[in-house]
Amino acid sequence: MKGALDLEKLPKHLAIIMDGNGRWAAEKGKNRLFGHKNGIQSVRAIVEESARLGIQHLTLYAFSTENWQRPKEEIGTLMRLLVQSLRSEFEKLLENNIKLQAIGQIETLPRSVQNELLHVINKTAINTNMTLTLALSYGAREEIVSATKKLSELVKNNLISPDDIDESALNEHLYTQQLPDVDLLIRTSGEQRISNFLLWQIAYAELYFTDVFWPDFREKSLHSALLNYQQRERRFGKTSAQINA
């Protein structure tokens, strides 16, 4: 796509469903591990480029609640790669002033992953350039159910009344309470579905699907997605005339 990126019109919150590692590897006659390893190179490239451009919040779907159904060896490999990446990328996060966060049922992850995550989260907590949120053992329906339970407890204990429950109250009990709504959601690899990712937060997001497999999704592909986003008119339910007024 032609044209220059307008750095004043970047999505504040970019979310990505990184898909296609396995198919990318299969096309090359390699195993899935090879795909995931190359997927990590894309994670690095996209995190750095997003921070460089000035995107404030980047959220990556790294492991869904449904991914626990994959073969045990693949889950083990993904968890090991995650620990290794957190270790090897830690310095870069500091250098780029990036704050790491995690959303999902973090307590269900292996201890080694939890420890490494907590370490990096604590050490980057004061960083201000960009928030990088990893969705791990994450499912949006579970997130909404869990927020509903927390609100129910508050009502049960007479701390709030049912009338206090509105969109902002529910929002405050989601894992993403510190994040603004998603502006742009990208999914790679040609699949056009949401797969239980940030269902509440994408209510008004622009959706962008590309056939590029995640290990091939690098800076150029990100620029194309952002350019496409910048050509859209976001109306939030209003008319075009109202938006232009």
> Helix, strand, or coil here: 115?
helix
Residue 93 near ligand FPP by CB under 6 A = no
| Cβ contact 213:20 at 8 Å | yes
Q: Which of 67, 129, 171, 228 is catalytic?
A: 67
Residue 102 near ligand FPP by CB under 6 A = no
Per-residue contact flags (x/-) with ligand FPP for residues 137 to 176, judged by CB under 6 A:
----------------------------------------
Other CB atoms within 10 Å distance of the CB of residue 82: 22
Per-residue contact flags (x/-) with ligand FPP for residues 103 to 142, judged by CB under 6 A:
-------------------------------x--------
Report which secondary-structure segment, H or E, holds 35: helix 32-53
Q: Which of 11, 15, 16, 22 is in the footprint of ligand FPP by CB under 6 A? A: 22
Amino acid at 139: G
Report helix angle 32-53 to 72-95, nearest 10.
20
* Residue 67 is a catalytic residue: yes
Other CB atoms within 10 Å distance of the CB of residue 14: 27
Segment contacting ligand FPP (CB under 6 A): 8-16, 36-44, 121-129, 167-175? 36-44
Other CB atoms within 10 Å distance of the CB of residue 149: 11
Segment contacting ligand FPP (CB under 6 A): 78-86, 154-162, 173-181, 193-201? 78-86
CA–CA distances in Å: residue 193 to residues 35, 185, 208, 236: 21, 11, 11, 21
> Which residues contact ligand FPP (rule: CB under 6 A)?
18-23, 36, 39-40, 43, 60, 62, 67, 78, 81-82, 85, 134, 214
